[in-house]
A and B are shown apart, each in its own frame.
Chain A
Amino acid sequence: MPDSSSATGLHTEEHNPALLHHFADPEQQRDAASLGMWVFLGTEIMFFGGLFCAYLVYRRWYFGDFAAASGTISMAYGATNTAVLICSSLTVVLAVWAAQTARRTLLITSLILTMLLGLVFLGIKGIEYREKFTEHHVPGASFRFDQAIPGHPGQYANPRHAQIFFSLYFVMTGLHALHMIIGLGIFLWLLTMAWKGRFTPEWHTPVEMGGLYWHFVDIVWIYLFPLLYLIDRHP
């Protein structure tokens, strides 16, 4: 980090091209950006929260039907995707550290790895959606569901209630996937900036902010996985 106590250091900070005119100093700008991103993530918590509320109501009402429906989505894919996102959060954190410590190669590699893992996640989701489509589990006119409720061999799940499960499944994972796609866009932009060498240890706020967003998307999935995939899995 350049010697901010020297006149040269101060001179550099004053003319930092990233410092916007209405801020007094880079610290204030960075603190504003950080608070802004956290507040935005707070709004995202409420955004997904509405869906969690709907899920909670119907899971309680139709537990057996939900359990039957949950049994038809692949736990292996879900767990793999969870691991994929966890690894991508690690690469994000490495990217931020690389930016903090002026390690350009590691920064670029980590950003690329993050995006690759994100694409793997979306790919697996695509496979899962395709499976649901072929099994006629997509809500709508062609929805069919003839599974027994786990633990009650003779009792078949109510297809209308199972359809509600799948409605919530598609909306919740679909919204999550949309956020992933936006995240990929953000990281592509970060990658471009990193490639051009725009990030320094003094200023790498976009990497940090992009990282916060990515971790949030990871956290949402950390909750979606048990709620959607693991309702009643014990034999």
Chain B
Amino acid sequence: MSMPTAIPQPVEREDYLNTKYGVWSWLLTTDHKRIALLYLLSITFFFFIGGFFALLIRLELLTPAGDLVQADTYNKLFTMHGMVMVFFFLIPSIPATLGNFLVPLMIGAKDLAFPRINLLSWYLYIIAGVMMLHCMLTGGVDTGWTFYAPFSTNFTNTKIVEAGLAIFVVGFSSILTGLNFVVTIHRMRAPGMTWSRLPLFIWAHYATSIIQLLGTPVVAVTIVLVAAERALHLGIFDPRLGGDPLLFQHLFWFYSHPAVYIMILPSMGVVTEIIACFSRKRIFGYSFVAFSSIAIAVFGFLVWAHHMFVAGMSVYAALVFSLLSYAVAIPSAIKVFNWTATLYKGSIRYDAPMLYAFGFLGLFTIGGLTGLFLAALGIDVHVTDTYFVVAHFHYIMVGGAVMGYLGGMHFWWPKISGKLYPEGWARLAALIVFIGFNLTFFPQFVLGYMGMPRRYYDYSHMPEFQILNVLSTAGATVLGVGYLLPMVYFLWSMRYGKPASDNPWNAAGLEWKTASPPPTFNFDEEPVVTWEAYNYEELDAPHSQEVPVAR
């Protein structure tokens, strides 16, 4: 009797995606790569929520009259837009997705130092997200994302304590991510991976983590004080009881200014990697770029009161903070110069990641320079709390951070998913994002300079502002299309995209020396690093002697 012989099936290589199936294998994972994807889904969801609020804001501002929503509702719209975008999208975006995925790979480790704390960090994010959603659905908050006292502590009727608690929890998530990165980068580098061989992406995330660790606890305790004041009528920020509202602002901005560096530093790290790869050159001035990341982290803690120049603080202190705010621009400028020098005489390729990096270079520079306008006391008196400020920070956060995020998603997509995204569509999307972004936010510089205040739902006493607002809203629609496209084709590529090789970009970096997607424990054999970072000359040499890595 003969048994039919089984046809030998090709053995599917084990990677982190197919190693185990089922919801629980994802919800209880401690694999940093899976956790990164969990975060990717979550922050994309909140990006939609924040974007939805932005859409409503821009719809209201199409006409000078406040005719779409009521004033209180509008207050809630811009508050929720800000809170969701800052705390649930921008701050976690690159560190929790690309950072979580890439930090161990780039340093040659099997995982982060504390994988279970990494998972806890995601669960804290989700818990906070659910709390925030519930808060929004049951009335929301109307104080602005800055929830200044004494309005937030004494006068508003909205759900401050609940929103504050949500931010407290998501702040803890952020602290744990930062803690994990710092310990991992110190303790888990592969043999030969010295500090000066680390990719600048790692330096950027190290600096970001320092800010997360030192700044977030201060805003956390401030939230505790606000909640206590609201619930127990303590009077710490209440002028009627001898409190100082400015103390709240000091404590709030001590975190929230460095928070903007949490949002931009990882993006700068991404841009550094992309520019090096698509110029086929090592980064010009490696040490300068590395130390400028640390400098940004440190200096960023010295400038917070520039948000308070007109709030009633001492003019002499304001002078000090103004000077320091000029100083904090210097390390960022150093980076821009080094990127430019890297591009010079490079063999530039215009793939989608590079298009986003170029967009970052231009838009971040504009955003940064307008920050200097705001740092000048005389100008700030004129443009503070106008759309000039709104345009400034959106140039940095959207033109800078989000561009970097999208560029990074494209650059590392083959590594994350094992598939190639469609390059033509990606370049088109990058162009649409760039055009849409500028159409949305450039008019806002003009609006602010002309005097249109921010957080106003009705500008019917200044109807001449309408045309610029209409342009801005039109731009927002284009921008929205630009954001939707990558979501569509990334998903498409997971099913129908061409399989990616280990290193489709022929890029430098340990993450490209393992399979796409990587196996669960990242490397089949612990790598031993004997080369400097960004060794593009070696990679592009005609008969490159790449260090063989056992598969």
Q: Which A residues lie at the B interface, using CB under 8 A?
A: 21-24, 28, 31-32, 35-36, 39-40, 42-44, 46-51, 53-54, 57-58, 61-62, 139-141, 158, 160-161, 163-164, 167-168, 171, 175
Contacts and interface: CB of A to CB of B under 8 A. Distances in A.
A35 B186 contact: yes
A50 B187 contact: no
Contacts of B179: 36, 39-40, 43
A36 B313 CA distance: 38
Given A36-B183, A43-B216, A161 B250 contact: no
A167 B186 CA distance: 40
Contacts of A24: 526
A220 B254 CA distance: 21
A42 B221 contact: no
B202 interface: no
Interface in B92-139: 109-115
Contacts of B224: 171, 175
B379 interface: no
Given A46-B214, A53-B250, A36 B113 contact: yes
B241 A49 contact: no
Contacts of B216: 43
Contacts of A163: 234-235, 241-242
Interface residues of B, number: 44
17 contacts: A21-B521, A22-B110, A22-B521, A24-B526, A28-B187, A31-B187, A42-B214, A43-B216, A50-B254, A58-B244, A61-B242, A160-B240, A160-B241, A164-B235, A167-B235, A168-B236, A171-B224
**Secondary structure dominating the interface of B:** helix
A140 B225 CA distance: 14
B236 A167 contact: yes
B217 A47 contact: yes
Contacts of B113: 32, 36
Contacts of B241: 160, 163-164
Nearest to B175: A43
**Secondary structure dominating the interface of A:** helix
B218 interface: yes
Interface string B194-233: 0000000000000000000111111011101100110011
Given A42-B214, A47-B218, A49-B218, A35 B187 contact: yes
Contact of A54 (B110, B182, B217, B225): B225
A40 B209 CA distance: 12
Contacts of A23: 188
A8 B250 CA distance: 60
A50 B521 CA distance: 41
B251 to A, nearest CB: 5
B549 interface: no
A28 B243 CA distance: 49
Contact of A36 (B114, B217, B254, B521): B114
A158 B242 contact: yes
A218 B221 CA distance: 19
Contacts of A21: 110, 521
A77 B221 CA distance: 26
B187 A43 contact: no
Given A21-B110, A43-B175, A141-B233, A50 B221 contact: yes
Contacts of B521: 21-22
